[in-house]
């Protein structure tokens, strides 16, 4: 491919990427309004989705430019091996981010909800003050502020108290 074709393809990719990000942003806003989800939670999930779009776009640009994938494959496998080891070491972080996305789309938990965690080891009841990418911040009935990992909220039973 000549230089003009490569530049045209990269420009087309940028236009398509911009359009996809714009449409995703509108869909996330519509979904969060429909489900009464807080804007900062939408930003967390949007950031994760946009990051995956940009990563895919980077690989497509590398293909367009004509990077030698034999050498690139060696480099990428080395990087992925290091990332795999670090994610394995930080498995709870990755699972909390995944749980955050699942809570965003499929769970009725909202800021201001009164909840009780139904577990023999964890006996907390209180009001949800914030939901982040890694944990839920809850104010208990005895006025303590505690953080509960998103995976705990997802895997343990919780009772929504009206």
> In this predicted model, what pLDDT tens digit does every residue of 18-77 receive, in sequence order?
999 999 999 999 988 888 777 878 888 888 899 989 989 998 898 888 877 677 777 778
- Span(s) in the chain for CATH 2.30.30.60: 108-161
User: What integer pLDDT is reported at residue 119 of this predicted model?
Assistant: 81
Closest by Cα among 111, 107, 113, 112 to 152: 107
d(CA 138, CA 131) in angstroms, rounded, equals 9
d(CA 148, CA 99) in angstroms, rounded, equals 12
User: What integer pLDDT is reported at residue 114 of this predicted model?
Assistant: 92
Q: How far apart are the first and last CA of the chain?
A: 64
User: What integer pLDDT is reported at residue 150 of this predicted model?
Assistant: 86
> For residue range 75-113, what is the model confidence (pLDDT) as tens digits?
778 877 877 776 665 667 778 778 888 887 777 888 888
User: What integer pLDDT is reported at residue 54 of this predicted model?
Assistant: 93
User: What integer pLDDT is reported at residue 153 of this predicted model?
Assistant: 84
Task: Give burial (CB, 10 Å; 0-12/13-18/19+) of 158.
Answer: buried
User: What integer pLDDT is reported at residue 64 of this predicted model?
Assistant: 87
User: What integer pLDDT is reported at residue 145 of this predicted model?
Assistant: 93
Strand ranges of the sheet holding 145-149, from the earlier edge strand across to the other edge:
145-149, 135-140, 125-131, 114-118, 157-161
User: What integer pLDDT is reported at residue 123 of this predicted model?
Assistant: 81
Closest by Cα among 104, 103, 143, 99 to 124: 143
User: What integer pLDDT is reported at residue 146 of this predicted model?
Assistant: 92
Architecture of domain 108-161: Roll (2.30)
Q: Given the structure tokens 């006996």, which residue do they identify?
A: 123
């Amino acid at each position: 491919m000549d230089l003009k074709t490569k530049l045209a393809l990269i420009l087309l990719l940028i236009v398509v990427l911009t359009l996809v990000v714009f449409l995703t942003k509108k869909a996330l806003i519509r979904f969060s309004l429909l489900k009464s989800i807080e804007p900062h939670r939408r930003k967390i999930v949007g950031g994760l989705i946009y990051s995956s779009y940009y990563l895919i776009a980077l690989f497509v640009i590398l293909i367009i430019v004509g990077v030698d994938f034999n050498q690139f494959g060696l480099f990428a496998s080395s990087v992925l091996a290091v990332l795999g080891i670090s994610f394995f070491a930080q498995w709870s972080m990755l699972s909390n981010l995944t749980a955050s996305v699942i809570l965003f789309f499929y769970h009725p938990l909202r800021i201001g909800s009164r909840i009780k965690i139904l577990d023999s080891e964890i006996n907390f009841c209180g009001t949800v003050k914030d939901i982040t990418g890694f944990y839920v911040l809850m104010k208990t009935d005895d006025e303590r502020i505690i953080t509960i990992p998103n995976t705990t909220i997802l895997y343990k039973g919780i009772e929504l108290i009206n």
